[in-house]
Amino acid sequence: MRHFTKNSVIAILLAFFLIPSASSYSQSKANDETQANIKIADQFVRTALTDRKGYHLLKELTDMGPRLSGSENSVRAIMWAKKKMEEAGFDKVWLQPVMIPHWVRGDVEKAEISRSKLYPNRKLNIATLGGSVGTPQKGITAEVLEVKNFDELKALGAKAKGKIIFMSRPLDPGLYQTFRGYGGAVDQRVFGAVAAAKLGAVGVMIRSITTKYDNVPHTGVMFYNDTIPKIPAVALGYQDADFLSNALKKDSTLKVNIKLNSKTLPDAKSYNLIGQITGSEFPNDVIVVGGHSDSWDKGVGANDDGAGIMQSMEVLDLFKRLEIKPRRTIRCVFFMNEENGGRGGDKYGKYAKESSEKHIAAIEADAGSGTPKGFSFDSDSLVIDKVQSWLPVLNRTGIDWVKKGGSGADVGEIKNAVARIGYVPDGQRYFDYHHSDNDQFSIIHPREFELGSASIATLVYMIDKYGL
Ligand SMILES: [Zn+2]
């Protein structure tokens, strides 16, 4: 510690108290501005929580049923939402045509144990994986080999020929972040059929990728390789996956019969839906907020991603209801076909690249309807530093953090945006519902959902006011 003389201490104190510094002046101005911004954030929260408009619209949307890419219903939902955007008084609403894959589940998806003294005709709860081929009418019948991962699968070698491969590794339940658990298990669903077919297997079953240990099977996308035979692929309910695993230990020669009539039709015409409030000062600066309008055909896609698109629409609607006129253009995009193709995201990304507009930020809401937690930024660290300085404002909506990370599958294609941003709500229950019959409107909590609209609106407000 240094020593000061009495006089020097007095001089320092005088200087500190008597000379009003430029920095203390700008500090109080900044405090005033923060207070004004907090007031706006509080208004977003109050309006969203009180009116619950987005929540009611989500009910209307999901009452129409699921929105699988290429289905009539997916287009009906887009036309409904277009009308809602027009009624809300957005400045411009339009459709961006896009050709998308058209896979249909069909009306047969059955599995049962077909040859076993211990378990005769025991039914298994399955869901056809998105993109899977069907089976002949009488199905495929084969012995089952269980593996936990691709190394075990490869090690089977010639033994896999003519068998159904059962990939049974569960989503790791021991991780705090459920999305990491999902990421660690989803390879079985996406690539299992190709790896099994390479060895001559005739079908693949996976344990549903879920955090809920019920017997509701979860679908999701899977891919084939052109040069490798296409074999049917299904997910088993979690409980039936346990059952089959135990049954195989007692009767390793049991056979399973799988009957599916899913198929892929020619590409279908569909649309991204786009609505905007045009900026009053910088109309060419664009802030995108969006989610995907397609869903799987299990459940009604309330959480994935009806919630995200209704929140995105509500962000603009909150500006309208509070009569806040943005300086920059705020644009809501409903991307089509995120689940099994990503063509809508590709299409908009291409548009953004060729357009003379400047994409400042692109925010994706596709992580469910839980309580707001944070924003994950795919951008320069200076941008992140700037947004972190807004945390006293963002905190008012429940946002705890802003950090570097991924954004989302759709906005990830807007490569020329200054920042691609993922809205991150609490994800503990997300995979209980994901891609299954559990994804119903009833699982949406209105307050948690509406706080999401308010937190994204607040971030958009700050980006509009200060830029990035
Ligand atoms: Zn989604």
Mean pLDDT, the chain, whole residue set = 95
* Cα(331)–Cα(53) distance, integer angstroms: 19
Q: Listing from the earlier edge strand, what are the strands of the sheet with 255-260?
A: 123-124, 109-115, 255-260, 140-147, 164-167, 203-207, 233-236, 126-128
Determine the distance separating the centroid of ligand 1 and the alpha carbon of 386, expressed in angstroms. 29
pLDDT tens, position by position, 393-429 = 999 999 999 999 999 999 999 999 999 999 999 999 9
- Find the mean pLDDT for residues 329-350: 98
CA atoms within 13 A on the CB side of 361: 29
Q: Which of 338, 339, 364, 448 is catalytic?
A: 338
Q: Kindly state the percentage of the chain with pLDDT values over 90.
A: 93
- Is 87 a residue of the active site? no
Determine the distance separating the centroid of ligand 1 and the alpha carbon of 447, expressed in angstroms. 20
Determine the distance separating the centroid of ligand 1 and the alpha carbon of 76, expressed in angstroms. 19
DSSP H helices in 52-117 = 53-63, 72-87
Helix (H) or strand (E) holding 264: strand 263-277
Determine the distance separating the centroid of ligand 1 and the alpha carbon of 19, expressed in angstroms. 57
Q: Kindly report the number of other CB atoms within 10 A of residue 85's CB atom.
A: 21
Q: Kindly report the number of other CB atoms within 10 A of residue 62's CB atom.
A: 25
pLDDT of 221: 98
Determine the distance separating the centroid of ligand 1 and the alpha carbon of 367, expressed in angstroms. 7
Residue pair 293/67 in contact by the 8 Å Cβ criterion: yes
Residue pair 318/87 in contact by the 8 Å Cβ criterion: no
Residue 166 contacts by C-beta under 8 Å, 6 or more apart in sequence?
A: 144, 145, 146, 147, 204, 205, 206, 236, 241, 244, 245, 248
Return the biggest CA–CA distance within the chain: 100
Q: Kindly report the number of other CB atoms within 10 A of residue 324's CB atom.
A: 18
- Indicate if the pLDDT at residue 1 is higher than 70: no
pTM to 2 decimals?
0.93
Determine the distance separating the centroid of ligand 1 and the alpha carbon of 337, expressed in angstroms. 10
- C-alpha dihedral (254, 258, 130, 268), degrees to nearest 10: 160
pLDDT of 115: 84
End-to-end CA, the chain: 42
Determine the distance separating the centroid of ligand 1 and the alpha carbon of 347, expressed in angstroms. 17
pLDDT of 403: 98
Residue 27's pLDDT band, with cuts at 50, 70 and 90, is confident
